[in-house]
Amino acid sequence: MQIPSPPLFWRTFLLIVLLIIGCLAATLFSFRVFEREPRARQIAQQVISTVNVTRSALLYSDPAIRRELLAELADNEGIRIVPVEADDMVRPFPDTPVVRLAIERIRDRLGPQTRLIEEVNGIRGIWVSFNIDEDAYWVFIDRDPLARQAGGAWVRWALLSTLLALLAAATISAAVNRPLARLTRAARELGAGRAPAPLPEQGPAEIRAVNQSFNRMVSDLTQIEQDRAVLLAGISHDLRTPLARLRLELEVNDLPEEARAAMAGDIEQMDTIVRQFLDYARERPQQPKDEADLSQLVSDAVARLRLPAATIETEVEEGLHGSVYRTELERAIDNLATNATRYGRSPDGQLRLSVQLRREGREVVLAVSDEGPGIDVKDHDRLLRPFERGDTARSQAKGAGLGLAIVERIARLHGGRFTLTARTDGRSGLRAALRLPT
């Protein structure tokens, strides 16, 4: 099963977010790398100064005031002097790049025997060893410069920056995808047989060029539709006039009945072909949509069918209404019945049709079923194209190959769809279904 691709907006949004995250990660890594040595240097200088000042205080201060001096350092600066004992429980700092650099600088200045410890006898801080003559001492610094301070303000600013970055990513994604979304809607309108509003020819050069090309294409297609309608209307007028004369001459001339019937059939076929050309070439319905009782409309249209020697079963659900083009829907029913007359006879030569109108979910389905030989599944879509006919078994029938194409266009005109399927009631034949949204 193929997983559907996410919309372009979300793909662009996620790419921008990933880019922001990557840039932030690279910035943080660079900051930590380039900040490492200055921070280690600062920590080492602070520890070295503290140890040197404390040692000087012990060496050169008056013994009478030494106790008060040490007490003042402990109270005001958080610095205490403790003798090193053999049974001291110590825990070193974690081996990080900053700690390694700081220890190297401290030992360069204070001697290679100097130790930098994180915890002594359960008390955490910075413990630095030094010697006075033969005696070893710990200098305890209560304010740990190695501890990073991450206050609430920093967290709030980080969250606010992230939120602003996401809003900016959403705005950029929407701005990038807005022209494409507008073009998609216009293409969908054009595909449904409606003329879309012209796209704005502004913005970046690429978008402007695409919109200009699309507008030109819509204009050309509209002109082609108009020219085709005029052309076929002219052909219809030029052909129907001699056809009418042929009918008149056929009636007044004394011809054998068999020849008269054959000629009348040929004239009727030519007239039908011309009418189908006109129906297919018509750009839009001649009458507007209106609210109709679909049940009554279909019943009346079936009653008006002139199908000699045909059996028609009608199953119409009552109370179905919709906004439709009445004439177009009646034309669709007539075309489906005509198509069934040509192709849907049972093996015994009889024409048995079933016309159904019912609601299926959010659609109203008008279906015409026959008992003919049916068609291959691979030909279903092909037969909805103009001037297409069935396989060899059906190619003996006469017509322009526009009947089903006209029904398919009427379905799209109503925002629905037209499908060809095999019958599902256990009988052979073809089921042509016009599905209209409620």
DSSP helix/strand/coil, 107:
helix
Whose structure tokens read 């159904």?
356
Q: Which of 168-182, 356-370, 386-400 has the lowest mean pLDDT?
A: 386-400
Closest CA to 298 of 322, 269, 280: 322
Percent pLDDT > 70 in the chain is 83
CB burial class (10 A; 0-12, 13-18, 19+) of residue 66?
middle
Strand 351-360 and strand 310-316: the pairing is parallel
**Per 3-state DSSP, what percentage of the chain is helix, strand, and coil (rounded to 5)?**
55, 15, 25
pLDDT of residue 64: 66
Give per-residue pLDDT as tens, 311-333.
888 888 888 888 888 888 888 88
**Distances from the Cα of 53 to the Cαs of 46, 134, 146, 216, 399, in angstroms?**
11, 19, 20, 85, 111
Work out the pLDDT band at 144, boundaries 50, 70, 90: low
pLDDT of residue 389: 67
Check pLDDT > 70 for residue 245.
Answer: yes
Q: What phi and psi values does residue 401 have, to the nearest 5 degrees?
A: 75, 30
Strand order in the sheet with 135-141: 79-83, 135-141, 123-132, 116-120, 90-92
**Residue 145 or residue 348, greater confidence:** 348
Please report, for the chain, how many H helices and E strands are present, in that order. Answer: 9, 12
**Mean pLDDT rounded to a whole number for the chain:** 79
Closest CA to 415 of 363, 376, 369, 349: 363
Which residues, at least 6 apart from 385, have a Cβ–Cβ distance to it below 8 Å?
405
Work out the pLDDT band at 396, boundaries 50, 70, 90: very low
Give per-residue pLDDT as tens, 24-73.
788 777 766 676 778 788 888 888 888 887 777 777 766 666 667 667 76
pLDDT of residue 1: 47
Q: Which of 106-120, 130-144, 277-291 has the lowest mean pLDDT?
A: 277-291
pLDDT of residue 397: 47
Which residues, at least 6 apart from 74, have a Cβ–Cβ distance to it below 8 Å?
80
Q: What phi and psi values does residue 67 have, to the nearest 5 degrees?
A: -65, -45
Check pLDDT > 60 for residue 148.
Answer: no
pLDDT of residue 394: 42
Average pLDDT in the 353-367 region?
A: 90
Contact (Cβ atoms closer than 8 angstroms) between residue 332 and residue 305: no
Work out the pLDDT band at 146, boundaries 50, 70, 90: low
Check pLDDT > 60 for residue 2.
Answer: no
SS (H, E, C) 200-262: CCCCCHHHHHHHHHHHHHHHHHHHHHHHHHHHHHHHHHHHHHHHHHHHHHHHHCCCCHHHHHH
Give per-residue pLDDT as tens, 186-237.
888 887 767 888 888 887 788 888 889 999 998 888 888 777 777 766 776 6
- CA-to-CA distance for 368 and 23, rounded, in angstroms? 63
pLDDT of residue 314: 86
Average pLDDT in the 342-366 region?
A: 87
Average pLDDT in the 87-112 region?
A: 84
pLDDT of residue 62: 66
Work out the pLDDT band at 285, boundaries 50, 70, 90: low
Work out the pLDDT band at 106, boundaries 50, 70, 90: confident
Give per-residue pLDDT as tens, 18-34.
888 888 788 777 766 67
DSSP helix/strand/coil, 422:
strand
Residue 108's region, left for phi above 0, alpha for psi from -120 to 50, else beta, is: alpha
pLDDT of residue 425: 77
Average pLDDT in the 175-195 region?
A: 82
